[in-house]
Every structure is written in structure tokens, then in C-alpha cells.
């Protein structure tokens, strides 16, 4: 196990190195001068030259990249052009908001998708199965921002039950946090639930056709026992990957939803960084997202071995 984790961590470092290179090169193709945009109406040549020198933009591209990677290895992702704050500090400040939204959305999705997907597979061909497939198709087809807009119009505009936007930290006021997170988490969670429902249904159907399941049924075991002991454990293995990827994607930033609900997370931070040509913040946010995806993949591999001992970690 230790050897496997160390090897994967080494591979992750190589991938992160590639991510920094690709992002750095792509940002060079973006038109516009980030320092000029950052200064705005405060522009004067002396300040402009000083900021370019401080940010290292006056040096050759190779020297800029080598300097960036060297500082990134020590946890220094640079300084924001707009605020002058360290990028690491800015991203870490936004991370709790995104984490609370992403985890809540995934939990809501699982509460809907898990029982619906399992029952749809167990009762394949029934009215419930058809309804589950319609729900799944609807959720995949309708964008989450449309659901968010409809939620704002109904629950904030017409009924007045929930605030239309804003954010309150969970540690500050749990009740107000819950009232603010319900709409964006539901908008994202319904789309995620539709995706998970399809995967759970397909995975359970595949396992139900296995020989060992038919053997368990032939022994006279009750249907509930067969599903719980023999079907779910094996059916969950591919589902774990989908859940992990969905969670990593949401933590990486649901940009449209965070902008729509004025949610101060990583997605909103990325959007603002693109608008302001704040390259250090944009690079730092992308690097955090890439590191999160790699971490989730590692956790999924380890969890695979726990769910199914036949799967070895080599």
C-alpha cells in the first residue's frame, strides 16, 4: 500500500508539472496586458514598470516559468495583480465556500440517486423504472444554471422563502448558511443526481445478471439480503469513481452557479481572475483543482481495494 501511494504521488507531481506548463503557455496566448488591466485608471509608466518588474513579466518566458515552478514547490504561487495578496491565501480563503457547496450538492444527489437507481434496477421495466429514466434524462438535458434561475424566481421571488444569493460561513451561522446553500446546492445536486442515477441503475443491473447473484437467489435468500450483501457492494465499485469525479468537479468550481448566486468560491474566483487578467490567481486556482483531481483519483484507487479485496494495488 505504501509503495503504491508513493508511486502515485510521484506520478501526480509529474502531472502537476505538465499542468503548470500547459496553463502557463496558454495564458501567453491571451490578448491584453495583465499589468495594464490591473492598474486601470491608476496607470502611470513608473508604476507600470515597477509592477512588471515585481511580477517578473519583464523577464524571458523561460525564466518566468522556471521561477514560477521553483516558487510553487515551496507553496508560493505568486501575488495577485489586483489585490496584491498571496495567491495561496486567496485560494484557501475561497475553498471553504466551494467545499460546503460541493459536499452539500453531492450529498443531496446521493440521497436522490442511490435509492432511485437501485429501485429502478431491481424493478426494471416497471413504472418506477420509467419515471427514474425520465428524471435522469431530464436532469442531464437541463443545465444547472436554468434550474438555479427557476429556483430563484420561485423560492426567492414568488414565495420569498429563501435568499436569492449571498453566502454565510457554516461556522458563523449554520441556519443562515443552510438557507443560502439550499438553492445552489439543489440546482447542482439535481443534475448530479440524474447522472448518478443512470450509473447506479446500470451498475446494479449488470451485477444482477452475474452467476453468483443467481446462485444466491437459488439458495432461497430473500431479495433484500441478495441486494444488500451481494449486489450493492460490487455495484458500488464503478459508482465510486463517478461520485469522486463529480465531487472533484464541483470543488474545482461550478463557475456559472457561483456567479449566479454570488457564491464566493473557487469558481467565482476563477471567473473574476479571467475577467481581470489576473494570471497568478488563475494559475493558482487551476493548480489547486488539478491537485484535487489527482488526490480524488488516489483515494478512489485505495477505496477500490477496500470494497473488493480481489482488486490489488500494485
Task: Enumerate helices (H) and strands (E) in the chain, giving the number of each.
Answer: 14, 0
Quote the number of domains for the chain: 1
Percent of the chain with pLDDT over 70: 82
Q: Is residue 166, in this structure, part of any structural domain at all? A: yes
d(CA 1, CA 43): 56
User: Is 28 a domain residue?
Assistant: no
In a domain, 148, yes or no: yes
Residue 17, domain member (yes or no): no
CB 267 within 8 A of CB 257: yes
Pick from 183, 109, 101, 110: nearest CA to 145: 183
Q: Which residues, given as ranges, of the chain have pLDDT below 70?
A: 1, 4, 30-44, 46-47, 51, 54-58, 212, 216-217, 219-221, 223, 230, 252-253, 304-314
C-alpha distances out from residue 215 to 120, 208, 304, Å: 22, 11, 24
**Can you read off the three cell numbers belonging to residue 275?**
475577467
E strands, 18-124, where? none
The CATH number covering residue 109 comes to: 1.10.3720.10
Asked if the structure places residue 58 within a domain, the reply is no
Q: Which of 232, 229, 39 is nearest to 117 (CA)?
A: 232
Q: Distance between CA atoms of 4 and 314, rounded to whole angstroms?
A: 6
Q: What is the pTM of this model?
A: 0.79
What burial letters (b/e) apply to 144-153, b meaning 16+ CB within 10 Å? bbebbeebbe
Question: Within a domain: residue 75?
Answer: no
User: Does residue 274 sit within a domain?
Assistant: yes
Q: Which residues pair with 86 in a beta bridge?
A: 79
Domain extent, residue 282, equals 88-307
In 3D space, the residue among 232, 246, 236 whose CA is nearest the CA of residue 190 turns out to be 246
Residue 312 belongs to a domain: no
b vs e for 291-309, b when ≥16 Cβ sit within 10 Å of the residue's Cβ?
ebbbebbbebbebbeeeee
Amino acid at each position: 500500500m505504501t509503495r503504491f501511494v508513493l508511486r502515485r504521488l510521484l506520478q501526480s507531481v509529474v502531472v502537476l508539472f505538465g499542468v503548470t506548463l500547459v496553463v502557463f503557455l496558454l495564458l501567453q496566448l491571451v490578448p491584453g496586458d495583465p499589468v495594464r488591466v490591473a492598474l486601470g485608471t491608476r496607470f502611470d509608466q513608473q508604476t507600470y514598470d515597477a509592477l512588471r518588474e515585481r511580477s517578473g513579466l519583464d523577464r524571458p518566458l523561460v525564466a518566468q516559468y522556471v521561477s514560477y515552478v521553483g516558487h510553487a514547490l515551496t507553496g508560493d504561487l505568486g501575488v495577485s495583480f489586483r489585490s496584491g495578496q498571496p495567491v495561496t491565501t486567496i485560494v484557501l480563503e475561497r475553498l471553504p465556500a466551494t467545499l460546503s457547496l460541493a459536499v452539500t450538492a453531492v450529498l443531496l444527489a446521493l440521497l436522490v440517486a442511490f435509492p432511485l437507481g437501485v429501485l429502478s434496477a431491481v424493478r426494471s421495466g416497471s413504472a418506477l423504472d420509467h419515471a427514474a429514466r425520465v428524471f435522469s434524462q431530464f436532469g442531464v438535458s437541463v443545465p444547472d444554471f436554468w434550474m438555479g434561475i427557476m429556483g430563484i424566481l420561485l423560492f426567492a421571488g414568488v414565495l420569498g422563502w429563501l435568499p436569492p444569493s449571498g453566502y454565510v460561513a457554516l461556522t458563523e451561522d449554520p441556519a443562515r448558511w443552510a438557507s443560502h446553500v439550499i438553492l445552489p446546492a439543489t440546482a447542482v445536486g439535481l443534475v448530479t443526481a440524474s447522472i448518478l442515477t443512470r450509473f447506479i441503475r446500470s451498475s446494479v443491473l449488470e451485477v444482477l445478471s452475474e452467476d453468483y447473484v443467481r446462485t444466491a437467489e437459488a439458495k432461497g435468500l430473500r431479495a433484500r439480503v441478495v441486494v444488500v450483501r451481494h449486489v450493492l457492494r460490487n455495484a458500488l465499485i464503478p459508482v465510486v469513481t463517478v461520485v469522486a469525479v463529480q465531487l472533484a468537479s464541483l470543488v474545482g468550481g461550478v463557475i456559472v452557479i457561483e456567479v449566479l448566486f454570488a457564491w464566493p468560491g473557487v469558481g467565482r474566483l476563477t471567473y473574476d481572475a479571467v475577467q481581470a487578467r489576473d494570471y497568478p490567481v488563475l494559475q493558482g486556482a487551476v493548480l489547486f483543482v488539478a491537485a484535487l483531481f489527482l488526490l480524488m483519483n488516489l483515494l478512489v484507487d485505495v477505496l477500490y481495494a477496500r470494497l473488493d479485496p480481489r482488486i490489488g494495488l500494485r
